[in-house]
Amino acid sequence: MIRTDFILKFLLVTFSLCVSFVAQSATKLDGVRIWAAPESTRVVFDLSKAPSFTHFTLTGPYRLVVDLKGTSTALNLKKLANNSKIVKRVRISKPPSKGTLRLVIDLTKPVKSSLFALSPTAPYGNRLVVDLDDSRSVSAAKQTSKPKQKLRDVIVAIDAGHGGDDPGSIGPTGIYEKKVVLEIAKKVEAKINATPGMKAIMTRTGDYFVNLNKRSEIARNSKADLLVSIHADAFTSSQPRGASVWVLSMRRANSEIGRWLEQKEKHSELLGGAGEIIQSTDNEQYLAMTLLDMSMDRSMAISHNIADDVLSNLGKVTKLHKHKPESASFAVLKSPDIPSILVETGFISNHKEERLLSQREHQNNIAKAVHKGVLRYFESNPPVNSLLASKGSFKHNVRSGESLSVIAHKYQVSINSIKKANGLKSNTLRIGQKLVIPRA
């Protein structure tokens, strides 16, 4: 009898330990977040462990079903915050088998879906990300919305880095880069839109994530003349500080040309009518390479000039980390057909600059500097058939080290035309002198 009691107690303890182990090893769904963008929605499932999942779609009505194996939850999904035009709701449904958590995303329309797991990155833990893309219908609406004007605006795409589930760098007091750069980007947008002959397009307007390739695509679909990406730098040490401006490295440029050459269906998109012509030739690859090289060279030259002007203006309102444009392999700068720059507004990892970057006045000064640099370039080099090109002459402030020949080369006009427009009898200039620059 004693032996039987001992065995029973042993089995009970063993069973309770097994139950406890299973309970501890099961994955928990701790949270659900919905990030809505104009053309897409991201649904994020926060999990205690890396997920094991399968998914499938259903129609009549449209649904995306996600099965999480070995997962449970105590969440009340009826109270979930949702401002998406794509997602009606997220709910729990009857599981296909014991131990599986079935989640159903009810949709308003058929959309392209992409699911992937993310490992822990501060401030988030394990996540399952569901990206729902509705860009096709939006792009079609854009294409038919407005007839082309004879004199067009210069279009500047403003890209606020990070967003949504990607906070970017985090300052010492917990300020997120994604929030600061969106505030600055919106101020740049307002200044661009307040400038006659210019128009701003935002790659994101709220707290949601946009794929890096999608950012360039938004700029291209909007026929942007320039892409400006706004970021805040960070380092492992809190000492570094100051703003910098970056352009695409030559190494990345060459690799991108190779990638575009392989995508023959993209040639027309990138090269316009020329892309359709070269497809019917025997030397398509060589012609495409030549045209892409020329396009990339032009874009990189423009990017360098604008970066110079923006950096010069930033130096008047904040400390500079780099006094000349730097080259890097940033993905958002890689479009061969769109001049692109990346502005690091300061080091959010530096206590003083984190405080400055969160202040409205400093944000406004940064935005003014970016706007002035961009405007300076396009006033000097307005695109053909643009409203800016229809204006008369413009002014140039002489800087240290500049000569008449340097200025004439910069604006692609003759030295004599500058002298005539300003009534100059010699080639001598003084720093700070304002010169009228005639249109080329």
Specify the higher pLDDT residue, 152 or 137: 152
Percent of the chain whose predicted confidence (pLDDT) is above 90: 52
**Geometric angle at alpha carbon 301, from 264 and 178, rounded to 5°:** 80
In this predicted model, what pLDDT tens digit does every residue of 68-115 receive, in sequence order? 999 999 999 988 999 999 999 999 999 999 999 999 999 999 999 999
In this predicted model, what pLDDT tens digit does every residue of 279-310 receive, in sequence order? 444 444 444 445 555 566 777 888 989 999 99
Q: Three-class SS of residue 386?
A: strand
In this predicted model, what pLDDT tens digit does every residue of 238-273 receive, in sequence order? 999 999 999 887 665 455 545 544 454 444 554 443
The pLDDT of residue 6 is 54
In this predicted model, what pLDDT tens digit does every residue of 345-374 receive, in sequence order? 999 999 999 999 999 999 999 999 999 999
Binned at pLDDT 50, 70 and 90, residue 274 comes out as very low
- The DSSP code sequence of 202-217 is ES-SSS----HHHHHH
| Other CB atoms within 10 Å distance of the CB of residue 355 | 14
49, 182, 343, 379 from 373: Cα distances, Å: 48, 19, 12, 10
pLDDT for 8 beyond 90:
no
DSSP classification of residue 266: G
Report d(CA 297, CA 307) in Å as an integer.
15
The pLDDT of residue 261 is 44
Binned at pLDDT 50, 70 and 90, residue 392 comes out as low
pLDDT for 20 beyond 50:
no
Would you say 373 and 311 are in contact if contact means Cβ atoms under 8 Å apart? yes
pLDDT for 317 beyond 50:
yes
Binned at pLDDT 50, 70 and 90, residue 409 comes out as confident
In this predicted model, what pLDDT tens digit does every residue of 412-422 receive, in sequence order? 788 988 888 88
Which two three-digit tokens encode residue 217?
């695509």
Most confident of the following: 2-11, 106-115, 140-149: 106-115
Domains and CATH numbers, the chain: 25-137 (2.60.40.3500), 146-380 (3.40.630.40), 394-437 (3.10.350.10)
Report d(CA 296, CA 242) in Å as an integer.
29
pLDDT for 122 beyond 60:
yes
Pick from 95, 103, 132, 84: nearest CA to 31: 103
Specify the higher pLDDT residue, 268 or 339: 339
| Other CB atoms within 10 Å distance of the CB of residue 277 | 14
Which two three-digit tokens encode residue 379?
């006033």
Most confident of the following: 82-86, 182-186, 398-402: 182-186
